[in-house]
């Protein structure tokens, strides 16, 4: 190495390496080769990391897929609504208080597939083992298919899985320290700040916490379990109709049946950048019935207004629901 490699040459090689790893990164020989290349120079490690970060960032484009369901419309409806003094992509809140312990080289073993959805986006994603994932709004998950196990790491949000039968290769969803294992079945997993909600629509899944493998709970079709960080025993609850209703998002719908306005609004706000605000608690506590598209908060607001003799002020960035007397004198449609 008498001649110093130019920075441009390094950048180009790094891009070529990311492309190669994307194609055959599962091959240990290729990984070893990459490691050897990286070991040559700090600049190579930097250039590879940069190229890899750019490549990973492009996964955001999955939102743009037509897919099934209303994702396309939602994405379109959401655009061009924000003031842009200047275009910047940064700024998403840094996930708070990450307790991390990663070595610099760890990024070399990437998952097979990362699925991310934006606000309001719902995607149906076929997995390479023949399973199907329906991925709900604001969700991030990693798929890693290994010879002995099919691993899904759910980082945030909610997904429903229809698992292709493969006795030799269990299908395991990891949510923090909670594990949900299925062989051939269909179930959903949602990560919330308060805990992990598992709902089973077909067959049986097993749920446990890492380190607590003695206490595996079986959850059958038509039941659900909510696993909180402090409860040792996972309670299993019968909830057949509730599950159908709760999973209506898979077809881009929200179904309410005796839910409060406040709960319905919280659901809509999961799917839309244009948030609904409810002016007072009395209105929020009223119960209602209805079936709506996830991406039509305005339709919901109008229906709620009619149903409950309230007033809906539908603005470009937010929707305001209030009782008739206390409506603010802002824009109206």
* Residues 66-105 as x/- pattern, contact with other proteins by CB under 8 A: ---------x--xx--xxxxxxxxxxxxxxxxxxxxxxx-
Which residues, 6+ apart, have CB-to-CB distance to 25 below 8 Å? 31, 109, 110
Q: Which stretch, 109-117, 223-231, 237-245, 249-257, contacts other proteins (CB under 8 A)?
A: 109-117
Size of the site for other proteins (CB under 8 A): 87
Residue in 85, 72, 13, 6 with CA at minimum distance from that of residue 45: 13
Q: How far is the CB of 154 from other proteins (least distance, A)?
A: 10
Contact present, 163 and 189 (Cβ < 8 Å) = no
Nearer to other proteins, 64 or 216 (CB): 64
Would you say 112 or 263 has its CB closer to other proteins? 112
Segment 257 to 286, residues that bind other proteins, using CB under 8 A: 273
Q: Which two tokens stand for residue 177?
A: 């320290």
From the number of C-beta atoms within 10 Å of its C-beta (0-12, 13-18, 19+), residue 19 rates as: exposed
Q: Are residues 241 and 223 in contact, defined by beta-carbon separation less than 8 angstroms?
A: no
23 binds other proteins (CB under 8 A): yes
List of residues 6+ apart from 62 with CB closer than 8 A:
115, 116, 117, 123
Single out the residue of 325, 296, 228, 289 nearest to residue 77, CA to CA. 296
CB 171 within 8 A of CB 163: yes
- Residue 84 or 167 having the CB closest to other proteins: 84
Taking alpha carbons only, the member of 78, 90, 144 closest to residue 115 is 144
The minimum distance between CB 170 and other proteins, in angstroms, equals: 13
Q: Binding of other proteins at residue 251 (CB under 8 A)?
A: no
Of the pair 124, 245, the CB lying nearest other proteins is at: 124
**Residue number with CB closer to other proteins (20 or 165):** 20
**Which H helix or E strand runs over 75?**
helix 71-78
Q: Name residues contacting other proteins, limited to 111-130 (CB under 8 A).
A: 111-115, 118-119, 125, 128
Residues 35-64 that bind other proteins (CB under 8 A): 42-64
Site map (CB under 8 A) of other proteins, residues 153-182, x = contact? x-x------------------x--------
Q: Does 134 bind other proteins (CB under 8 A)?
A: no
Residue number with CB closer to other proteins (166 or 242): 166
């Amino acid at each position: 190495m008498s001649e110093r490699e130019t920075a441009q040459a390094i950048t180009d090689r790094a891009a070529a390496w990311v492309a190669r790893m994307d194609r055959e990164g599962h091959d240990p020989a290729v990984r070893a080769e990459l490691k050897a290349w990286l070991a040559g120079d700090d600049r190579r490690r930097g250039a590879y990391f940069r190229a890899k970060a750019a490549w990973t960032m492009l996964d955001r484009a999955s939102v743009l897929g037509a897919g099934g369901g209303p994702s396309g419309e939602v994405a379109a409806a959401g655009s061009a609504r924000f003031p842009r003094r200047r275009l910047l992509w940064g700024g998403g809140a840094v996930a708070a208080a990450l307790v991390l312990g990663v070595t610099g080289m760890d990024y070399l073993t990437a998952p097979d597939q990362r699925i991310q959805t934006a606000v309001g986006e719902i995607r149906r994603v076929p997995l390479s083992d023949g399973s199907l994932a329906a991925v709900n709004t604001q969700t991030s998950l990693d798929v890693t298919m290994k010879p002995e196990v099919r691993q899904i790491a759910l980082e945030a949000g909610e997904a429903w899985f229809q698992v292709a039968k493969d006795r030799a290769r269990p299908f395991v969803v990891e949510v923090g320290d909670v594990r949900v294992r299925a062989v051939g079945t269909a179930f959903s997993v949602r990560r919330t700040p308060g805990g992990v909600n598992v709902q089973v629509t077909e067959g049986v899944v097993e749920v446990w916490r890492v380190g607590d493998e003695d206490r595996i709970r079986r959850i059958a079709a038509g039941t659900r379990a909510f696993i909180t960080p402090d409860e040792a025993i996972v309670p299993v609850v019968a909830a057949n109709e509730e599950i159908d209703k709760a999973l209506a998002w898979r077809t881009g719908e929200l179904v309410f049946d005796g839910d409060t306005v406040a709960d319905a609004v919280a659901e809509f706000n999961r799917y839309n950048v244009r948030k609904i605000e409810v002016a007072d608690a009395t209105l929020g506590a009223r119960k209602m019935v209805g079936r709506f598209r996830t991406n039509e908060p305005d339709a919901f607001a109008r229906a709620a207004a009619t149903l409950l003799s309230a007033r809906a002020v539908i603005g470009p960035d937010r929707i305001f629901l209030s009782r008739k007397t206390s409506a603010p004198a802002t824009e109206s449609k």
